[in-house]
Amino acid sequence: EYDIRLEGVTKRFDDVTAVEDVDLTVESGTFLTLLGPSGCGKTTLLRCIDGFETPTEGEVYIKDDLVTRTPPFERDTSMVFQSYALFPHMTVGENVAFGLQMKGIPGEESDDRGGMGGSLKRLIRRENSSVVDERVADMLELVELPDTQDRAIDELSGGQQQRIALARALVTEPTVLLLDEPLGALDLKLRKNMQVELKNLQEDLGITFVYVTHDQEEALTMSDEIAVMNDGEIEQLGTATEIYEEPATEFVAEFIGETNLIRGRYRETDDGAVVEREGREYVVPKTAEARGDVAFAVRPEKVRLGAEADGLDNRFEATIVDEIYKGNLGKFVVELDDGQELTVDMQIRDQGDYHQVGEAVPVGWSALNSVVLTE
């Protein structure tokens, strides 16, 4: 059962293609993150789901409804912005209630889903005000700011304002909550706390979140699924582990975490595959789509130094050329005799794990810990 389905969604602004031919299905109750660098089309894709933008091509479904050309207030979605977009001249309670005015009160609009005009009129009718008050109070409790209805927006901290924006978006009980870099304006400590709270809230509510960020660590922490975007396209869709351990493309391998990329020619052997570079063969996993010139990726923490490299199917003599930090974690740059440099991260457990620049030390990794990238 899905909440969102995008079929071939493309959005062009004059000569800029912001989103290109995106297919995406989001199962109900998923925390999905759109992750990618600034300008890759995250906000535009989110706006196509919400209805603030109409795709140039392709279709958008929410549940089983085709909504490609349905205006935002008639969709079962709600949006939280980085800028909060609260009204400073209205109280907290009025701001949260405005969420209902935007979309109409679910369960009360059966006569027509007539959008803002009709909803506003209904809201103004006295008999509805208690329903609204109750709903607003519930939402303020949900975001852990109970009894703040009468407070002024500018009395609240940035973190509290973001909670109010969240309450305003959730007050309509949307099927899908869309969040566009909602924690971007908060300082690091508060952002970390809010990441955990948002994830817990999503699990408690059981609704679908589509969360936009350019911060890979945030994406890895919060998401059930991550769609890595580049240049208007989804390069890979997967769990945090899949994206990290099995990046599909060079872009994904380099954007998520740190990685070593080695380029060469892919060749299958009797019992597996190798990548040849400068007369040296690196053992790699056999990969169906790989042929010719490829790159393969090895994470720095998968490379072993010294005695730990013994017996691994990739083991080479190397020289330490840099040590970046020490403490309980060591980061070293080593150079193989063909000039290939590798970054190595390791736990420093005892004195013997320290290495000096200029020291000769074997390096190694298991082929299973490398990934051949075909794009």
Question: Quick one: 65 or 217, whose CB is closer to ligand ADP?
Answer: 217
Question: Quick one: 167 or 178, whose CB is closer to ligand ADP?
Answer: 178
Which of ligand ADP, Mg ion, none lies near 272, with the C-beta cut-off 5 to 8 A by kind?
none
Per-residue contact string for residues 8-47; x = within reach of ligand ADP by CB under 6 A: -----x--x-x-----------------x-xxxxxxx---
Nearest-angstrom CA–CA distance, 179 and 24: 17
Residues contacting 198, CB < 8 A, separation 6+: 166, 179, 182, 183, 209, 211, 222
Starting at the earlier edge strand, list the strands of the sheet with 77-81: 77-81, 176-180, 208-213, 31-35, 225-230, 233-238
Least distance to ligand ADP, CB of residue 6, Å: 14
Least distance to Mg ion, CB of residue 39, Å: 8
Query: Which region, judged by CB under 5 A, interacts with Mg ion, from 3-11, 40-48, 53-61, 226-234?
Result: 40-48
Least distance to ligand ADP, CB of residue 359, Å: 44
Least distance to Mg ion, CB of residue 129, Å: 37
Question: Quick one: 46 or 336, whose CB is closer to Mg ion?
Answer: 46
Least distance to ligand ADP, CB of residue 46, Å: 8
CA angle 85, 39, 218 (to 5 degrees): 70
What does the chain come to in residues?
375
Amino acid at 188: L
Residues in the interface with ligand ADP (CB under 6 A) total: 11
Nearest-angstrom CA–CA distance, 137 and 150: 11
Nearest-angstrom CA–CA distance, 194 and 161: 12
Nearest-angstrom CA–CA distance, 70 and 57: 15
Which of ligand ADP, Mg ion, none lies near 213, with the C-beta cut-off 5 to 8 A by kind?
none
Give me the residue label for tokens 């392709």. 58
Which of ligand ADP, Mg ion, none lies near 58, with the C-beta cut-off 5 to 8 A by kind?
none
Interface residue with Mg ion, options 4, 35, 36, 43 (CB under 5 A): 43
Nearest-angstrom CA–CA distance, 214 and 291: 32
Least distance to Mg ion, CB of residue 125, Å: 38
Question: Quick one: 9 or 96, whose CB is closer to ligand ADP?
Answer: 9
Residue 71 DSSP code: -
Q: Give SS3 for 231.
A: coil
Which of Mg ion, ligand ADP, none lies near 75, with the C-beta cut-off 5 to 8 A by kind?
none
Q: Give SS3 for 171.
A: coil
Residue 152 DSSP code: B
Burial label for 349, CB within 10 Å (0-12, 13-18, 19+), is: exposed
In contact, 325 and 333? CB cutoff 8 Å: no
Least distance to Mg ion, CB of residue 371, Å: 29
Question: Quick one: 3 or 180, whose CB is closer to Mg ion?
Answer: 180
In contact, 84 and 164? CB cutoff 8 Å: yes
Question: Quick one: 18 or 273, whose CB is closer to ligand ADP?
Answer: 18
Reading the block at residue 304, the tokens are: 């072993």
Per-residue contact string for residues 44-73; x = within reach of ligand ADP by CB under 6 A: x-----------------------------
Query: Which region, judged by CB under 5 A, interacts with Mg ion, from 41-49, 267-275, 332-340, 361-369?
Result: 41-49
Reading the block at residue 233, the tokens are: 């396209």
Least distance to ligand ADP, CB of residue 255, Å: 13
Which of ligand ADP, Mg ion, none lies near 39, with the C-beta cut-off 5 to 8 A by kind?
ligand ADP
Question: Quick one: 39 or 71, whose CB is closer to ligand ADP?
Answer: 39
Nearest-angstrom CA–CA distance, 70 and 99: 18
Least distance to Mg ion, CB of residue 277, Å: 39
Report the interface residues with Mg ion, using CB under 5 A: 43
Report the interface residues with ligand ADP, using CB under 6 A: 13, 16, 18, 36, 38-44
